[in-house]
Chain A
Amino acid sequence: VQLDRRWEALYDECRSDLYRVAVYLLGASEAEEVVQDAFERAMREQDFFDRVQAPAAWLRTVTVRLSVSRLRRRAMLERIHLRAPERANGLPDPELYDALRSLPPLQRGAIVLRYFFGSDYAEIARALGMSEKSIGATLTRARTALKKELS
C-alpha cells in the first residue's frame, strides 16, 4: 500500500503521547489497540490532512473518546464480575494510577486531557460529548476526588 508520508510523520509525532495517555486511562493491555484504532479512523477520513486543521488534536480527542467508551464497557463488566479490575502493573506512580482508576470514565478522560495535553474546555467537551459549561464542574469534582484518594 502506497501511503502518504504525512501519516508517518504524524505517527512519529503523536503516537508516544497517545499511547502513554491510553495506558494511564486503560492499562497497557488495550492502549496500543486504542491508538491503532484512532489512526485507522483518521486514515478512513476522506482528505484528512486537507480538512483537519490540527491532526494531533483530532487524534488525542478520538483516543480519549475511544478510551472512555472502553472504560464504560469495562465498568459494566467489572460490576457483573465478568472482568477483574485493571492493575497498575509496573506503571510509574501506581498510587496515582489507582486514584485515577477510582474516577468515573468521563472525569478520568477530562482530567487527562486537561492536565496532560493542556486541552481547553471546548476540546474536552467535544472529546467527551459533554457541554462546554459542564467541563469546569467535572474537572473540579475529579480533582477533589483525586486529592481525597491520594491524601
Chain B
Amino acid sequence: VSQDLELEQRLRSAIARVSVPDRAFRARMPRSVLSKMLVGGGVIVLFVAALGVGQLLTGYRSGPAASTADPSLAPLPSTITSAQAIASVRGLGDPVGRVDRIDAKLMTLEEYLRVAGPIRVLPGDPRSTDAPGIIGFAGDPSTRYVWVVAVSGEVWPQPRVPISWGNPPFATLSPNPAPSPTPYPPYRWGMFLVDAAGGTRLAVGDAGIAEGWPAVFDRLPNHAAVAANATPGDAVAAAACATTGYDGAVVGAFRVRAEQLAIQDETPRGSPTGPHPMQSQFRAYAPDTLIVLCYYDGPIAAPGGPPGQGSTFRPYDRYAVAVDNTGRAILLVAGRRDTLTVGPHMPGTR
C-alpha cells in the first residue's frame, strides 16, 4: 500500500510539474472553404477512380470470347469470325443493353436445337408466362451453321425502344403516336443466333431471368470455323449459298470482289451498244468486299408473271443469287442452263 501511495504521489507530482505554455483561449474557426473544397475534391477523385475501376472490371468481364473450339468436332464454314459474331450482337442496340459477359460458339442449327430446345417466342415481359409457339427455319438444320452468342447483363428480346403503335415504321401519316419505350424490365441473359453465312441475326434463341448466365450455353458444342482466307468456290461460299432460302441445287459457289462484279455489270451485253446499268449496285460496297455468287439449278418463276394463254414459254431452270457481306441475298438473273454459264463472274456477261 505504501508503494502504491508513493507511486501515486510521484505520478501526481511529475504531471503537476509539466510546464504549460501560455495560450489564450481561442475558438477554432469553422472549417475553411479550402478544406471543404479539398474534401469535395477528394470525394470527386474517389468517385472518378471508382468509375474507372468499374469500367475496367466491366471491360474485363465482357472481353473476348472465352470459349475455345472443340478439336474433336469437324470444322464448320463461316464467313464471319467469333469476334465478328460477338460484335454484331453487342452492336444490336435496342435488344442488348448492359453487357456483363459475352461469348460465342459455332455449331449447326440441329445441334443447337438438340441441346437448347426449340426457339421459343419470347414475351416482352420476362416475368410473364411464355408466349405460345416456336420459331422455325427453312432448310436442313444439319447444314445450317450458326454462331450462338450468349450475353449476360440486360437483354430485351423484344426491343426496348421504340415500340411504334399504329403506323408502320417510317410512316408519316398522322396521327402517328410517338414511339414509346418498353414498360418491361430486361432479361438477365439471352442467346442470339447469328447466321455463320453472312452474319445476319436470325433470332433470339432463348432468354431468361432465373440465372445470371445461361447454363445451357456451356453444354453447347463449339466447332472451329473454316479459315477465312478460303479460295472462291470453297466451302465458305457453298455454306452461304445453302442459306439464301432458294431451294435449287447449288451448282456453283464463288467469292468475287465487289469492284470486279461492278465493272463486269457495267459492261454492255452482247454488243458495244448493248444494255447495261449506268452504275452497278455493287458500287455500293467497298471495292474489296467479297460477294458470294451462287448458281442454282431448279425451277424459278419467269419475271413478269405467268406466260400468256397459248404461249410456248420454256421455263427458266437456272438462276444466280449474290450474297453480300451482311447476308442479304439478291437475285441477279434467271435463265436457262444452256445459256447461263456458271463461273466466278457477273452472271450473263460471258
| A interface residues with partner B (beta carbon < 8 Å) | 1, 3, 7-8, 11-12, 15-16, 19-21, 23-24, 32, 36, 40, 43, 91-93, 96-97, 100, 111-112, 115-116, 143, 146-147, 150
Given A24-B18, A112-B15, A143-B4, the answer on whether A96 and B25 have CB atoms closer than 8 Å is no
| B interface residues with partner A (beta carbon < 8 Å) | 3-4, 7-8, 10-18, 20-21, 23, 25, 27-29
**Chain B residues within 8 Å of A143, by CB:** 4, 7
In angstroms, Cα B11 to Cα A23, docked, is 13
**Chain B residues within 8 Å of A112, by CB:** 11, 15
Q: Is the interface of A mostly helix, strand, loop or mixed?
A: helix
Given A16-B20, A19-B20, A146-B7, the answer on whether A24 and B15 have CB atoms closer than 8 Å is yes
In angstroms, Cα B306 to Cα A29, docked, is 106
Set A1, A16, A20, A91: member contacting B27, Cβ < 8 A = A1
Contact A96 B18 (CB under 8 A): no
**Chain A residues within 8 Å of B25, by CB:** 7-8, 11-12, 15
Q: Is the interface of B mostly helix, strand, loop or mixed?
A: helix
Given A32-B23, A116-B12, A143-B4, the answer on whether A19 and B28 have CB atoms closer than 8 Å is no
In angstroms, Cα B18 to Cα A15, docked, is 13
Return A44 CB to nearest CB of chain B, in Å: 10
**Chain B residues within 8 Å of A92, by CB:** 13-14, 17-18
In angstroms, Cα B149 to Cα A123, docked, is 68
Contact A1 B12 (CB under 8 A): no
**Chain B residues within 8 Å of A32, by CB:** 21, 23
Contact B18 A91 (CB under 8 A): yes
In angstroms, Cα B12 to Cα A111, docked, is 11
**Chain B residues within 8 Å of A19, by CB:** 18, 20
Given A93-B10, A147-B7, the answer on whether A1 and B29 have CB atoms closer than 8 Å is yes
In angstroms, Cα B17 to Cα A91, docked, is 8
Extra contacts, 17 of them, besides A16-B20, A92-B13, A93-B17 (Cβ < 8 A), are A1-B29, A11-B25, A15-B25, A19-B20, A20-B15, A21-B15, A23-B18, A24-B15, A24-B18, A43-B27, A91-B18, A92-B17, A96-B10, A111-B11, A115-B8, A116-B15, A147-B3
